[in-house]
Amino acid sequence: MRLSLLFPALALLATASSSAQTFVFKGERWEINDPFTLDNSIPPKPVVDPKKGTVNAIKGSIERTSVSGGIEATLTRKLSEVTEVIWPAPSRLREAQANVSRGEPAKALDNVEAVLKFFEPIKNVPGSWWVKASIVKLDALDRLQNDAATATFLDAFEKEDAAKLPEVATQIQLARLMQRARKGDHEAVIKESAELLAKVETAELQARLHIVKGNSLLAAKKYEAAMTTYLRVPVFFGSETELIPKALLGAARSFRGMDSPALRDQKLESVSNRYLYDIIVSYPVSKEAEEAKAMLPKEERAKAEADQKKVAAGGPLPEGVIMAKPKLAAEEKVEANK
């Protein structure tokens, strides 16, 4: 299995593709009806083009209407015959990721379950979105802090073929670490996070590990180390936009923890407030923005909200605001979900 096909980068969820949904068989390709594209009926129904294949997950087959010599015939292929999937990021998967960022884990689970159900019969086929959807589900469960549900899902996920892939295995380890952190096992989480950081290479996993490590350092009241750990995310992994507000909020909390009479001249509370301001202006629909508003003094919160509205209306970015780095062009030139 090719990792680049089976485990698409998280950033692709933010970039829609114009490629048609396609199932590849040996010597043949079928365009497939997208079950996530709905019409305007009440309740809405999937838009179906009879010339495209329609997946019947219950029968484990795909059916397509063909006309030859004026005669209409129904062609059938088995899902087990699919050798590759070429499919843009499903709309409900993109929405699930947005739900997680906005702090709407219940909505995220509703959206992601639809994706998991559709791709379940072809979960190990290159290009399938089943693994990516599973990772988003883990994120949603983490937001809910439902350790019982997370443990049950992880136990099942670890038995899948995909769990043998290095990056997927690391995502599972991350989820286990977050569970342990919630139980207060912070010293072990700090140690194991540091060990994993030496082994992983992708920007997404590096960024996630820094946040997990930073959270436990903060809980252990190692404020300066936590601050340094969090700030590595926007500095070195700024393209991982969905993780930046978490890192900035962690840094803001770390600066507040560092504040003391001995460091009064450094005005660390003001530094903290600046990061909270940046979250509100740069990531206004995130869960972290709501937490930042609750932490900021009333006047500074009002200014941040006013500046955010100006930016949303097309105004200039306030001086000094930390914004995530855009993806490099080479990273965006990706065919479908490869």
Q: What is the mean pLDDT of residues 226-242?
A: 94
CA distance 136 to 323: 24
pLDDT at 322: 66
Q: What is the Rg, in whole angstroms, of the alpha carbon atoms belonging to the chain? A: 23
- The H or E element containing residue 232 is helix 223-236
The tens digit of pLDDT for each residue in 195-217 reads: 999 999 899 999 999 999 999 99
pLDDT at 36: 92
The tens digit of pLDDT for each residue in 46-104 reads: 888 888 999 988 899 999 887 667 778 888 999 999 999 999 999 999 999 999 989 89
Tell me, yes or no, whether 39 lies in a domain. Answer: yes
pLDDT at 145: 87
Phi, psi for 15 (deg, rounded to 5):
-125, 110
Q: DSSP readout, 34-92?
A: -TT-B-SSSS--B---TTSBEEETTTTEEEEEEEETTEEEEEEEEGGG--EEE-PPPHH
The tens digit of pLDDT for each residue in 150-187 reads: 999 999 999 999 999 888 999 999 999 999 999 999 99
Q: What is the mean pLDDT of residues 33-57?
A: 88
* pLDDT at position 17 over 70: no
pLDDT at 293: 96
Model confidence at 324, pLDDT cuts 50, 70, 90, reads: low
The tens digit of pLDDT for each residue in 273-319 reads: 999 999 999 999 999 999 999 999 999 999 999 999 998 888 887 87
pLDDT at 45: 87
pLDDT at 66: 75
**For residues 76 and 56, is the Cβ–Cβ distance under 8 A?**
no
CA distance 33 to 294: 45
Tell me, yes or no, whether 249 lies in a domain. Answer: yes
* pLDDT at position 13 over 90: no
- The H or E element containing residue 147 is helix 147-157
Buried b (16+ CB within 10 A) or exposed e, 282-310: bbbebbbbebbbebbeeebbebbbebbee
Q: Which of 84, 103, 121 is where one domain is finished?
A: 84
Taken in order 240, 241, 246, 251, is the CA torsion positive or negative?
positive
**What's the residue count for the chain?**
338
Tell me, yes or no, whether 134 lies in a domain. Answer: no
Secondary structure of 84-144 as H, E, C letters: EEECCCCHHHHHHHHHHHCCCHHHHHHHHHHHHHHHHHHCCCCCCCHHHHHHHHHHHHHHH
Q: What is the mean pLDDT of residues 133-151?
A: 92
Q: Which of 41, 62, 84 is where one domain is finished?
A: 84
Residue 244, domain extent: 231-325
Tell me, yes or no, whether 302 lies in a domain. Answer: yes
| Residue located via tokens 């329609």 | 54
* pLDDT at position 233 over 60: yes
Tell me, yes or no, whether 130 lies in a domain. Answer: no
3-state secondary structure of 26: coil
Tell me, yes or no, whether 48 lies in a domain. Answer: yes
pTM of the model: 0.77
Cα torsion at 318, 324, 89, 1 (round to 10°)? 180
Mean pLDDT rounded to a whole number for the chain: 86
Tally of domains in the chain: 2
Tell me, yes or no, whether 283 lies in a domain. Answer: yes
pLDDT at 118: 95
CA distance 90 to 337: 10
* 268-282 helix and 298-312 helix, angle to the nearest 10 degrees: 30
Q: Which of 63, 84, 105 is where one domain is finished?
A: 84
CA distance 29 to 24: 5
